[in-house]
């Protein structure tokens, strides 16, 4: 009888788990298709991009502009590239352990995925520098007004944890995926409800651009810009 009771409990737990997963993905499908419209004011002052590797999205900003010189904090000498010809800065937010310990999907551990999914552990910001950007199905070009870009700068800057002197707290790690990359301590917690793509989607909202009501996946963002 105990075995039968335990089996029933396990069965109910499994059914409940499947239902929760189903509700989650149904919510993703519905909410990522609901559009938060862009502001009526169209810009041509500053060009930014949304870049995806097929899973994770970054917001790409001018490395230097009259509103913000990111190179004062994201120093070229802190990257293995150290190339002054770089023009763009890609900024992505995510789970710290995932960034530093999972350079490829083959390195992904269950403990890392579990902690990331349920908001256990710290967040980090990953940056990369580029000489040029090319529009494609994985790279969206967006034109902003000066005021819209100012709001985007505030949003991105607020994602970085800062030391007592107000400087970004760099993470010194050998977990470089490419030569032009570096990592920094970040605010907030990663979870299945607030992912790297949620952060990027919120960046678009912050500067008055078209976005999803909510999405944990990059596909939702790119759906809005088809």
**Residues ≥6 apart with Cβ < 8 Å to 2:** none
In this structure, what token pair is assigned to residue 129? 């520098």
Cα distance between residue 190 and residue 120, in whole Å:
8
Quote the pLDDT of residue 113.
Answer: 72
156, 126 Cβ separation under 8 angstroms: no
pTM summary value: 0.90
Q: Which of 14-18, 126-130, 137-141, 215-219 has the lowest mean pLDDT?
A: 14-18
Mean pLDDT of the chain: 88
pLDDT > 90 fraction of the chain, expressed in percent and rounded? 64
pLDDT band at residue 61, thresholds of 50, 70 and 90? very high
Alpha-carbon distance of 93 to 195, in angstroms, equals 8
Residue 194 reports pLDDT greater than 80: yes
Q: Which residues have CB under 8 Å from 168's CB, separation 6+?
A: 73, 74, 160, 161, 162, 184, 185
* Residue 122: predicted pLDDT: 86
**Residue 106, pLDDT above cutoff 70:** no
pLDDT on residue 42:
87
Give residue 168's pLDDT. 97
**pLDDT band at 2; cut points 50, 70, 90:** low
């Amino acid at each position: 009888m105990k075995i039968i009771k335990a089996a029933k409990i396990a069965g109910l737990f499994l059914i409940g788990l499947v239902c929760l997963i189903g509700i989650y993905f149904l919510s993703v499908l519905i909410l990522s298709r609901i559009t938060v419209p862009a502001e009526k004011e169209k810009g041509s002052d500053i060009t930014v991009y949304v870049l995806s590797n097929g899973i994770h999205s970054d917001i790409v900003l001018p490395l230097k502009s009259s509103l913000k010189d990111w190179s004062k904090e994201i120093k070229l000498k802190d990257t293995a590239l150290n190339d002054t010809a770089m023009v763009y800065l890609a900024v992505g937010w995510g789970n710290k352990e995932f960034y530093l310990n999972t350079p490829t999907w083959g390195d992904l551990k269950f403990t890392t995925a579990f902690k990331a999914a349920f908001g256990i552990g710290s967040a980090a910001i990953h940056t990369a520098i580029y000489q040029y950007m090319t529009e494609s199905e994985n790279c969206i070009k967006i034109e902003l007004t000066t005021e819209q870009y100012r709001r985007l700068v505030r949003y991105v800057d607020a994602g970085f944890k800062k030391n007592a002197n107000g400087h970004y707290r760099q993470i010194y790690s050998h977990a470089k995926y490419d030569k032009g990359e570096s990592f920094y301590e970040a605010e907030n917690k990663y979870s299945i409800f607030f992912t790297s793509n949620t952060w990027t989607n919120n960046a678009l909202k912050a500067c008055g651009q078209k976005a999803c009501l909510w999405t944990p996946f990059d596909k939702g963002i790119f759906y809005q810009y088809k």
